[in-house]
Amino acid sequence: MSSSGDHADKQRQLDEFRVDPRDSELTTDQGVKVDDTDNSLSVGERGPTIMDDFHFREKITHFDHERIPERVVHARGSGAYGHFRVYDDSLAEYTVAEFLRDPSVETPVFVRFSTVAGSRGSADTVRDVRGFATKFYTRQGNFDLVGNNMPVFFIQDGIKFPDFVHAVKPEPHNEIPQASSAHDTLWDFVQLQPETMHMMMWLMSDRALPRSFAMMQGFGVHTFRLVNAEGRGTFVKFHWKPMLGTHSLDWDETQKIAGKDPDFNRRDLWDAIEAGNFPEYELCVQLVPEADEHRFDFDLLDATKIIPEEEVPARPVGRLVLDRNPENFFAETEQVAFCLGNVVPGIDFTNDPLLQARLFSYLDTQLIRLGGPNFTQLPVNRSVAPVRNHHRDAYHQTQIHQGRAAYHKNSLSGGCPAIGTGVDGDAVYRHYQERVDGAKIRKRSESFADHYSQATLFWNSMSDWEKEHIVSAFRFELGKVEHKHIREGVVEQLNHVDHDLATQVAEGIGVEPPKAPVTENHGRSSPALSQANSPADTVKARKVAVLVADGVEAADVTAVGEALTEQGAICEVLAAHDGAVRSADGDQVEVTRALPTVASVLYDAVVIPGGEQSVRALAEDGDALHFVAEAYKHCKAIGALDAGVELLGRAGVSSLQIATEGLVEVDQGVVTRRGGGAPGGPDDNFKRELINAIAAHRHWTRNKAHVPA
């Protein structure tokens, strides 16, 4: 291992386990070469297969045992390797964790993103929480930060977790619906369990529909504790902030993507890494001195609460870069085992009852999922710090422990492994010495009792379009609920959050709106909660479709493509067929994909270049017209040049300010230009406006109700 630590440490360790099939010959598991793996050994050409066929038996037996249980929650996931480094040593006064205080140390990581409710083969773009689990392979051992893309949780005490999961999963009698929260059992749970309300606001918001894993935040959720060299503790909340901003898909779009490309987020992550568009996140911490434990109007130990960033700033401390795809999904992404209990010196737990339950659950679940306690020896789970102890045997033991003494204390192995001293930089784990005292009781603390104030805070912090999306989401979900009393029960709960919200939802789902508010809305807000305030200043990793047919202005295609690619966007030329089209000048324009194999929902923006003949052909092509109409409906940036502008009207997109001759016009993300372009394609003004429109992500306030798509 290099002395400063670098992210290749983990890759070097994995190298020892990699198996390369190149230049090899087929063998049995015993290494015996095989000359026929297509025909089983039988008596004569048409006779029975015989038991002597050890190759047949081994091949089939191994196949019969290929499956392991999928995760009970977060079954669908996608992983990537990367590295993390802190910016400076400013956390040294709070923690002895080396990877958090030494900027010369680059720590390898593995991250697994996931949805929660769906099974392993379910679609990526469902309305759900996303898992954001990070394994830091630090030089002091593995630290697992097993977070979500929402900062709060549905319940306060982990003993409710099986109830919650049974409610949100497909219903037990018919296993419907798959990967969806729009059904009776979830909402029955919600209406009877007011502590869910804050999280339900997040789940009904656009946060549940991330455009990309690279465009969502991550949160450790619980309050953890940093511990310094003197043993002093500081409360900490961990946040990941994506460098590309936090952006979401449109609900209608997510449902269509689930059919067109159920691997949408997984593919996006994979492709981005392959293309060198590495997802990056900043680690931020909210630090609260122990003396301030009780200064908030909520309990720091309550996982249904945030600490508003306006009260305690989220301080950027380091950067995570995901730069390597796994090589084998099962070996790495499926077998990775995150455990809340995996902490390193300088990081400790608090008494959050949700966190405490997780300390038990994660290790327990790996034992059944991965078949015993030696899952820590699986390559993806191995620590890069040496592992030496007296744990022995069990299923799938891969180590050959030497010596006779598997106990402590011993004299036969020289007393080794020796107990850490903790002196001279020897990092041993020391639990934070918290004083606890009390009677054994089953009782929720009174300080956990307010279930609505922060749900209201979230609602108040939303922009108008975010509020509209939340109301539509509640209407959709509750519109799928069969029992009227459940719909009514949820509206009653919402009336505690905000009267106007409850009324709007009630009106959409055939429920009598509440007569009056239960309490007045407190009027407080936290701007940091709104996605409208998230950075939207880059087109990096955005996918842009350019629609073409024979007769297209090649200069438009080239110039737009170059301008976008230069800024890190991915430009694809789409035509009715694969291969190439002929430009207006008779040149070939290469086609990236055939229109019938894709859809507008798989792109962030669409450009219609000039060329009379090309646009006439597109105007006759239902796929092309639908593409433009749908992109408009989903509030995406659209660029149209010269004759291309006509296609907007043909696609049913009217009521826009369209460019007059020689000018560039921008109206709600639709950028048009007629004439006046340079001979080499559109002028800089058009390109700049197009880039700005795409970087803005979506133009949510667009008037689109009239566009059928």
Where along the sequence are the contacts to ligand HDE (CB under 6 A)? Answer: 71-74, 77, 112, 114, 131, 133, 146-148, 153, 158, 161, 221, 303, 336, 338, 354, 357-358, 361-362, 365-366
Q: Is 148 a catalytic site residue?
A: yes
Catalytic residue among 7, 142, 148, 469: 148
CA dihedral (155, 236, 361, 333) in degrees, to 10, reads 110
CB of 365 to ligand HDE, least distance (A): 4
The Cα–Cα gap between 336 and 185 comes to: 31
Contacts of 228 (CB under 8 A, 6+ apart): 92, 93, 94, 95, 96, 234, 346
For ligand HDE, the closer CB: 381 or 672:
381
Q: How far is the CB of 117 from ligand HDE (least distance, A)?
A: 12
Question: Among all residues, whose Cβ is closest to ligand HDE?
Answer: 131
Question: Closest approach of Cβ 280 to ligand HDE, in Å?
Answer: 20
User: Which CB, 354 or 541, lies closer to ligand HDE?
Assistant: 354
Q: How many residues does the chain have?
A: 709
Q: Concatenated DSSP letters for 257-282?
A: HHHH-TTHHHHHHHHHHHTT---EEE
Give, for 193, the enclosing helix (H) or strand (E).
Answer: none
The 3-state DSSP class for residue 77 equals: strand
For strands 130-138 and 107-115, give the pairing: antiparallel
Residue whose C-alpha is closest to residue 201's, from 460, 487, 444: 460
Q: How far is the CB of 454 from ligand HDE (least distance, A)?
A: 16
Q: With respect to ligand HDE, which residue has the nearer C-beta, 219 or 686?
A: 219
Cα–Cα distance, 146 to 196 (Å, whole number): 20
Provide, rounded to whole angstroms, the least separation between the CB of residue 155 and ligand HDE: 7
Q: Is there a catalytic annotation at residue 39?
A: no
- Residue among 74, 496, 634, 699 flagged as catalytic: 74
Nearer to ligand HDE, 213 or 362 (CB): 362
- Identity of the residue, 353 or 561, whose beta carbon is nearer to ligand HDE in the bound complex: 353
- Nearest to 304, CA basis, from 354, 351, 239: 354
Strands (E), 141-290: 141-148, 218-219, 224-227, 233-242, 280-289
The two three-digit tokens of residue 411, written as one number: 């004299």
* Residue 708: Cβ-neighbour burial (10 angstroms; 0-12, 13-18, 19+): exposed
Q: Which DSSP letter does residue 664 get?
A: E
Query: Which lies closer to ligand HDE via its Cβ, residue 335 or residue 456?
Result: 335
Is the distance from CB of 471 to CB of 508 less than 8 angstroms? Answer: yes
CB of 397 to ligand HDE, least distance (A): 21
Q: Which is nearer to ligand HDE, 147 or 669 (CB)?
A: 147
Q: Closest approach of Cβ 349 to ligand HDE, in Å?
A: 13
List Cα–Cα distances, 227 to 306, 339, 656, in angstroms: 22, 20, 58
- Is residue 143 within 8 A of residue 97, CB to CB? The reply is yes
Active site residues: 74, 148
